[in-house]
């Protein structure tokens, strides 16, 4: 008797609490929706740390900003918690990174009946497609009998997906700032302040861009191949004239672990190209990269580069220009520049 009635009770309690939570969410969303009483400042929600940083700098005190992602997390399969859903429902304006990064947000927005305007900061950026950077294509002619590097044959995600990591080049970061500024200006708050703060940030990004070009331009031709944790650096390498030597995780995200055969092929590529360093990323567990570096006789650079996330506050990589400069310096040093 006991055993049959207890589970029934538990179930009804659970139902009750789910209903209660749902009611609370609806109530809290409902009372703040028009944005009148509770806060005079417009509520802005940013998805990634990069978008959040740009919004914070440009919006300043004129906006009430919520950033969904915390520093250090890997942005591709973000798990939306109930408080995030509530923030989305309360927002007057949502800024997203775009280029396919936040598919979860698109679903949530459809379900949330949100009144917010959504702005995609990748608008106007010339996006790379996922297949443009097959390992092995970057290297030169010969290497006759190499078997390992013909990954393209069995690389069957033939669908053209954009590479979402566009923020890793300074010119793209500038477009991002311009898009964020234009979106925030639609709120009608502190227009002069927002415009001048955006100009200031754009100026810093232009300075960073020049410094990165000068720094990486000094690297000799035989030390310009970059191997990293996941395939995030395509825009950075294209912009600054470096070569892609492969990535430990063979895709644009880290959802699929590399197979033993893929690891072997990467190790062969690293040896064949004479790559001496494997870079790690703040948002990816470096264990596999360490194993690859050891196997290939390359050095693991454990000062991480920031790809999917900016650095934590105070790290120097917690702004867009700071992050780009940090990455360029770590890559320059790691490739043996002086």
Q: Which spans of this chain sit near Zn ion (rule: CB under 5 A)?
A: 232, 308
Q: For residues 160 and 101, is the Cβ–Cβ distance under 8 A? A: no
How near is the Cβ of 187 to Zn ion at its closest, in Å? 30
How near is the Cβ of 268 to Zn ion at its closest, in Å? 25
Q: For residues 49 and 67, is the Cβ–Cβ distance under 8 A? A: yes
Q: For residues 35 and 41, is the Cβ–Cβ distance under 8 A? A: no
How near is the Cβ of 334 to Zn ion at its closest, in Å? 19
- Residue 246 pairs with which residues in a beta bridge? 227
Using the minimum distance from each CB to Zn ion, give the nearer residue, 166 or 240: 166
Contacts 24+ apart (CB under 8 A), 20-24: 21/82
Which residue is nearest to Zn ion, using beta carbons? 308
How near is the Cβ of 129 to Zn ion at its closest, in Å? 15
Using the minimum distance from each CB to Zn ion, give the nearer residue, 59 or 135: 135
How near is the Cβ of 164 to Zn ion at its closest, in Å? 7
Tracing tokens 């944790």 back to the chain, one arrives at 229
How near is the Cβ of 114 to Zn ion at its closest, in Å? 26
From residue 313, alpha-carbon distances to 49, 140, 236, 320 in Å are 11, 41, 23, 12
Using the minimum distance from each CB to Zn ion, give the nearer residue, 184 or 320: 320
C-alpha Rg value of the chain to the nearest Å: 23
Which residues in the chain belong to E strands, given as ranges?
43-46, 64-67, 93-96, 117-120, 225-230, 243-249, 277-281, 299-305
Which of 35, 23, 30, 26 lies closest to 117, judged by CA?
35
How near is the Cβ of 82 to Zn ion at its closest, in Å? 25
Using the minimum distance from each CB to Zn ion, give the nearer residue, 191 or 257: 257
* N- to C-terminal Cα separation, the chain: 78
* Residue 295 φ/ψ, nearest 5 degrees: -60, -40
Using the minimum distance from each CB to Zn ion, give the nearer residue, 78 or 190: 78
Using the minimum distance from each CB to Zn ion, give the nearer residue, 178 or 308: 308
- Distance separating alpha carbons of residues 97 and 119, to the nearest angstrom: 9
Using the minimum distance from each CB to Zn ion, give the nearer residue, 195 or 251: 251
């Amino acid at each position: 008797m006991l055993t049959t009635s207890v589970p029934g009770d538990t179930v009804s309690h659970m139902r009750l609490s789910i209903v209660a939570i749902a009611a609370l969410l609806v109530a809290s969303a409902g009372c703040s929706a028009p944005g009148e009483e509770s806060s005079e400042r417009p509520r802005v929600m940013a998805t990634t740390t990069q978008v959040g940083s740009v919004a914070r700098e440009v919006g300043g005190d004129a906006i009430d900003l919520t950033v969904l992602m915390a520093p250090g997390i890997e942005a591709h399969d973000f798990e939306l918690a109930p408080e995030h859903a509530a923030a989305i429902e309360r927002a007057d304006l949502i800024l997203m990174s775009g280029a396919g990064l936040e598919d979860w947000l698109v679903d949530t927005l459809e379900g949330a009946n949100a009144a917010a305007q959504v702005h995609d900061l990748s608008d106007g950026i010339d996006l790379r497609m996922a297949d443009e950077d097959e390992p092995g294509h970057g290297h030169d002619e010969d290497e006759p009998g190499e078997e390992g590097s013909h990954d393209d044959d069995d690389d069957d995600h033939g669908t053209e997906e954009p590479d979402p990591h566009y923020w890793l080049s300074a010119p793209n970061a500038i477009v991002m700032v311009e898009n964020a500024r234009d979106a925030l200006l639609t709120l009608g708050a502190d227009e002069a302040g927002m415009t001048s703060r955006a100009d200031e940030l754009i100026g810093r990004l232009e300075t960073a861009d020049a410094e990165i070009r000068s720094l990486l331009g000094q690297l000799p031709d035989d030390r310009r191949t970059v191997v990293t944790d996941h395939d995030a650096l395509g825009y950075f390498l294209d912009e600054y004239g470096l070569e892609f030597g492969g990535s430990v995780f063979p895709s644009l995200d880290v959802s699929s672990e590399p197979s033993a055969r893929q690891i072997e092929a990467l190790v062969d590529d690293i040896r064949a190209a004479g790559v001496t360093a494997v870079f790690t990323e703040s948002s990816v567990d470096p264990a596999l990269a360490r194993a690859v570096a050891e196997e290939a006789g390359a050095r693991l650079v454990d000062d991480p580069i920031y790809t999917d996330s900016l650095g934590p506050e105070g790290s120097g990589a917690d702004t867009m220009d700071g992050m780009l400069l940090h990455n360029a310096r770590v890559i320059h040093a790691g490739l043996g520049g002086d």
